[in-house]
Amino acid sequence: MSATTASLREKMPTWFIPHGGGPCFFMDWNPPDAWNRMADFLRNLGSTLPRKPKAIVMVSAHWLEPHMAVTSGIKPDLIYDYYGFPPHTYELKYPAPGAPALADQIVQTLSAAAIPSATDGQRGFDHGMFIPLKLIFPQANIPVVQLSLHHSLDPARHLEVGRALQGLREQDVLIIGSGMSFHNMRAYGNPQFGPVSDGFDDWLTQAVESSPQERDRLLTNWEQAPGARLCHPPRAEEHLIPLMTVAGAAGSDAGRKVFSDRVLETTLSAFTFG
């Protein structure tokens, strides 16, 4: 392929996806159909890509570090970091290979942008990675690295991280933020939080679909959104912050909502960029 042809190839998008509640897609739930629409959305998501990714960078809500960290193992184990679920959910498998060379490239790229980072050869894949990917890419044949969040949960920092990594998209690397657009554990199932989640979701959609400069401004100041701290309580916004990384990696590309559903009395959405 010539350089000109490569430059005309459609870049990989970036995604912010909901990963559900624990292993919810692989067990009985009450009500039984609670997660069905989300599961169907995730199963069909891979078909929206321009081609099969060469690798995936998964930014999971379930990994926080004092610096940006990247899994670098060849065959990372799974981390069953959910509690009180049926025994069979602790036997789920997702044997996707790691990508040590990609992990090294990410650290070098972040270092060049003056963002402290390091590889982690011992860290496994948590459920923010393997639960949704079992639906999106069930064959587990695409190499994956997980990228941590910074423990500050600073939205501007994570937008900066994403901007530094946006060039990976031209190398057919798919960057996914795995979290939840609403994540207040005490509010799930409470009808009083339906309107609260709706107001926040409307604001979040407007923010994502704004011009890139305005998008960055709004996402940096997400705490000013209606009901923000009812939807993501203080120091519990780790499920929203992956959105900032994938929005940063979008660069100048537009964002849009691609999925929304009412689950456990709250509105949960997914967004794509590019």
Q: Where are the alpha helices (DSSP H) in the chain?
A: 3-8, 36-45, 100-112, 127-136, 155-165, 193-208, 212-220, 228-231, 242-249
C-alpha 100/C-alpha 70 separation (Å) is 9
Q: Residue 101: which domain range? A: 3-273
Q: Please tell me the distance from the alpha carbon of residue 150 to that of residue 128, in angstroms, as a whole number.
A: 16
pLDDT at 219 over 60: yes
Residue 70 has pLDDT above 80, yes or no: yes
Q: Residue 27's pLDDT band (boundaries 50, 70, 90)?
A: very high
Burial class (CB in 10 A: 0-12, 13-18, 19+), 181: buried
For 132-147, what is each residue's pLDDT tens digit? 999 999 999 999 999 9
Q: What is the per-residue pLDDT for 8?
A: 66
Backbone angles phi, psi at 187, to 5 degrees: -100, -20
> pLDDT band at 9, cuts 50/70/90?
confident
- Please compute the mean of the pLDDT values over residues 23-49 and round it to a whole number: 97
**Mean pLDDT within 8-25:** 95
> Which candidate, 131, 130, 129, 143, places its Cα nearest to that of 53?
143
> What is the tally of structural domains in the chain?
1
CATH classification at residue 230: 3.40.830.10
Mean pLDDT, rounded, for 47-66: 98
Q: How confident is the model at residue 152 (pLDDT cuts 50, 70, 90)?
A: very high
Q: What is the mean pLDDT of the chain?
A: 96
**pLDDT at residue 273 tops 90:** yes
Task: Give the chain's largest Cα–Cα span.
Answer: 57
pTM of the model: 0.96
Kindly state the average pLDDT of the residues 250-254.
98
> What pLDDT is stored for residue 4 in this prediction?
42
Confidence bin at 155 (pLDDT 50/70/90): very high
Q: What is the CA radius of gyration of the chain?
A: 18
Mean pLDDT throughout 112-135? 98
Question: How far apart are the C-alpha atoms of 270 and 274, rounded to whole Å?
Answer: 14
Taking 50 as the threshold, does the pLDDT of residue 3 lie above it? Answer: no
